[in-house]
Amino acid sequence: MKTHTTGLKILVPLLALGLLVAMTLPPPFGALAEAQFPKVHFRGTATAGEVIAPRCSNYVVGIRVDEILQDPQGELSPGQKVAVYYQTTHGFRSGDLLEVFGTSYLTEGPPECADSVVVEEAEGDYIGLMVKFTGTVLAVAQRIGGTTWTVEVEEVLLGHPISGQVDVQWIIAVPPCQGSYDPDIGLCDGVEVHGMYADGSVDLCPSADYYIRTVRPAVHFYLPIVLLGQIAEE
């Protein structure tokens, strides 16, 4: 009994010490990032092509800041060069126009990500190519979750050179889709598209600046019913 009591006398102070140490430890990295490190949103030009990242994440691209959309701590300035890390390869090339939304470690942060912006795509961050082009609508698919327009590209007005058929998507999502569209767009209409391009499709949702709108309504020819009947008889 005496030995048991002695053991308790030693154990209780040790437990108290452990609890005290646990209370003074910093929060997990994810919670720390959410609490202390701001989100930044900007557009810019790739100064070099995408490369495999030696640290912090899987890939990295250098970007010159052209337009600042969100910068709560004033860490960005036009012309500044920023390293942006991300998880999924996009094959960015020098000169590509990019839009970035991610966590800023430009002032402080983990050593492996110092002086950079990190895009956590699984957490709703994004990095992508900005494009603007005109084309002709080949198909319209309206679903409960949104609308997809298949557009044949005719002229690229801004950004990455693309060609052929591109799906333009407006979807119901969380957070809400910010882009806009003309609800009357139909087959064969000429349209102008501005959005974020990746893997053969354009996403209108990341920015309120993105859109698909009619610039050249399709011309439809209607023949009188009587004339159609005569053609059928012949």
Q: CB neighbours (10 Å) of residue 132?
A: 18
Domain span holding position 149: 129-216
Domain tally, the chain: 2
Q: CB neighbours (10 Å) of residue 73?
A: 11
Clarify whether residues 119 and 206 are in a common domain: no
pLDDT-derived band at 230 (thresholds 50, 70, 90) equals: low
* β-pairing verdict for 190-198 and 165-171: unpaired
> Do the domain assignments include residue 48?
yes
Q: How far apart are CA 93 and CA 130, in angstroms?
A: 13
Q: Global pTM?
A: 0.72
Cis peptide before 110 (omega within 30 of 0): no
Across the chain, mean pLDDT equals 84
Clarify whether residues 85 and 110 are in a common domain: yes
Clarify whether residues 112 and 133 are in a common domain: no
Q: What does 131-173 look like in DSSP terms, one character per residue?
A: EEEEEEEEEEEEETTEEEEEEEEEEEEEES---SEEEEEEE--
Counting DSSP H helices and E strands in the chain, the numbers are 3, 13
> Do the domain assignments include residue 17?
no
Give the model confidence (pLDDT) of 131-176 as tens digits: 999 999 999 999 888 999 999 999 999 988 889 999 999 998 777 8
Clarify whether residues 190 and 205 are in a common domain: yes
Residue that the structure tokens 């209780």 belong to: 12
Name the more confident of 121 and 5.
121
CB 117 within 8 A of CB 84: yes
